Structure 1
């Protein structure tokens, strides 16, 4: 048995020299080592050269669950309930249910197997009687055949399906390696050099060195590139929060806008220097827009000319021709003016903790 301090690859070679063929999973179990550690040792030996040959293998391993182990130890639920029924006078059903462990499952299985019958004719709770003199605990016998076995024991496909459904057993697929001796097999492996140094060239020791072959197909270290900017990540998180609350994003793909929505609806005077601050580009074709909500246009016009709601307005002659001029949108607030008008025509959504 390999000790914890002994080199696992060396111990594996010793076992291979003795047996000629080794299963990595069976070997790991026999020496009390983790199977992945043994697989690592196999990979290490494969990298040396033709010392070993390997073949991958898959094994289906069936194991008892905690309930399965309890049944293997004490008997199945159905047999234990059957044995609790008085052979001569029967036993009240409610008494069985309260005194026998896992009585509900056991009663169901025993009735399904026609081991028991129920008499409801007499006064009081239903009486349970044995329908057969004795029974064989096949479930316990089959589960016991799995204990310590790496295969399926005596269980048929139907047994496996039933016991897995009852959660008495579980299965695991074990991927292991069948290891045999390679053309260059040896139990003594010297460590190969991984690089040619200046010192080796100067003293000539390179002539007697054994160098490890280069793996030109090996992948290089991944480059850390293309990361998201932290502010973009925060913006994405906040955007998602608002979208999940029911908010919608405004469409900002209309780059051509009328002066009405870009300036007038934001109450910038038509001949005011504030409009020049945006370095506005006016379009020649199409030069004007004509589709405006009439009632809203009139309210904007009135606010410019005479004001309202406590304002006296700008006190000038507002001209529709100026508002109709098409421009390259100077800010996305123009989108906000359109959306505010659109949303104002319907019932709004209110978020409140009241």
Structure 2
């Protein structure tokens, strides 16, 4: 009905000046007219131009004041010429009227609010607020200053009225011809398909977005690193033990028991079970001896090594604890060269900020063979990082309790235009390897780095909490590419 009314009117007239007035004249709801206009405009049967009108209307609070008067006037009238106590005045008027009326009446200098008595300062007042509200309700013009004052008190609100002016479009017809959306069997049988007008296909329309799983950037980089290790002939270590004993996490790595890393401020210790019950006793004795008095050319640390410290359970602070277990198992068999790697979570009791979390992923690689040197380590590192697209490397001497010599690894970041630390490396000390039972000429070269830092660099993320944890934006995971090209 609305469509016929619009097209029929335009057949005899050049223009519908205002769809709102047109709807009122023909007795059809304007919202229904608007829906039809949008459809006709989409098919270019009519051309539509927006008409926007704005006017101030009263809020519910404003409407109530047009009947009862403004709160300040109500409060003023409640005060008799001889004055009234505060308690009596509060009983005479509504609490909201008292609260609003007090502030406005004092501002207008109508009332004197004493500690005990409220009295009039003027004998008569005019309710300008009520008068302004009635004028706005009747559609009269009001000064901008008064509008601002009423708006500030939330007594009026701006109402936007939208309608359309209509003219004939390029495809105008007095009656819209229904177009077919499908060619059916019946059309072919009847032969009327020749006279049908078919709806055009929108080849630019996007299909329904496919909802499926998305790989997290950390998982993508992890898989990439895993493939690099496998291509280099490394074997993955089992890292399914988040809980470790202090012995494998610290003592077996020749890390002294008074080392700051063993403090509860740096390490998460378990309450239940608080200690381990299974340790290889003969190996424990050799580790104790090398800590206390040294051996294998070392003087040791010269302190009283305590078994109860070694028995404490903790959340592993590095995956090197897994490396110490694997090397000990390797030493129990006839020696054969090995290349191991691991990528898994570790835990540190650190303050959380944009670059640190209490848990993160550590990548570790090690090569165990006879006669290895620092040159072998540097060569393996160049090979490993070049496969990640990092060809510019530098090494800086460093100290680790369980490696000597030790090196920090730096790579030149083309985006930052500076050298960035990307990992740590070194050769495991004899004090760590020989108590395990490995041959004296066996050397182990190793390196480690976090998974989060290279992932943040590769994906342009500057806050680790946007990458890992409960604050991650899921749209980031959906938007990032399935794979990154340009890196071997």
- TM-score between both structures, scaled by the size of structure 1: 0.59
1:54 aligns with 2:48: yes
The alpha carbon displacement at 1:219 in A equals 0.9
For residue 91 of structure 1, what is the aligned residue in structure 2? 84
2-structure distance, mates of 1:264, 1:113: 84
The alpha carbon displacement at 1:69 in A equals 1.7
**Which of the pair has more CA radius of gyration?**
1
For residue 205 of structure 2, what is the aligned residue in structure 1? 219
Q: What is the aligned residue count?
A: 280
Alignment of 1:196-235 (within 5 A): 205-206=192-193, 208-209=195-196, 211=197, 214=200, 216=202, 218-224=204-210, 227-228=213-214
2-structure distance, mates of 1:224, 1:119: 68
Distance change in 2, residues 1:298/1:195 (3 Å)? closer
The alpha carbon displacement at 1:55 in A equals 0.3
For residue 124 of structure 2, what is the aligned residue in structure 1? 133
For residue 45 of structure 1, what is the aligned residue in structure 2? 40
Kept in 2: contact 1:76–1:140 (CA 8 A): yes
Alignment of 1:75-114 (within 5 A): 75-86=69-80, 88-101=81-94, 102-114=97-109
2-structure distance, mates of 1:214, 1:302: 80
Distance change in 2, residues 1:303/1:71 (3 Å)? farther
Unaligned 5+ runs, structure 1: 1-6, 234-245, 305-315, 333-354
The alpha carbon displacement at 1:199 in A equals 6.1
Kept in 2: contact 1:72–1:144 (CA 8 A): yes
1:293 aligns with 2:279: no
CA RMSD across the alignment: 4.8
2-structure distance, mates of 1:176, 1:275: 85
For residue 272 of structure 1, what is the aligned residue in structure 2? 333
1-structure distance, mates of 2:9, 2:76: 51
2-structure distance, mates of 1:25, 1:249: 72
Kept in 2: contact 1:91–1:129 (CA 8 A): no
Distance change in 2, residues 1:82/1:215 (3 Å)? farther
The one of 61, 64, 67 aligned to 2:58 = 64
For residue 470 of structure 2, what is the aligned residue in structure 1? none
The alpha carbon displacement at 1:217 in A equals 6.2
2-structure distance, mates of 1:251, 1:58: 66
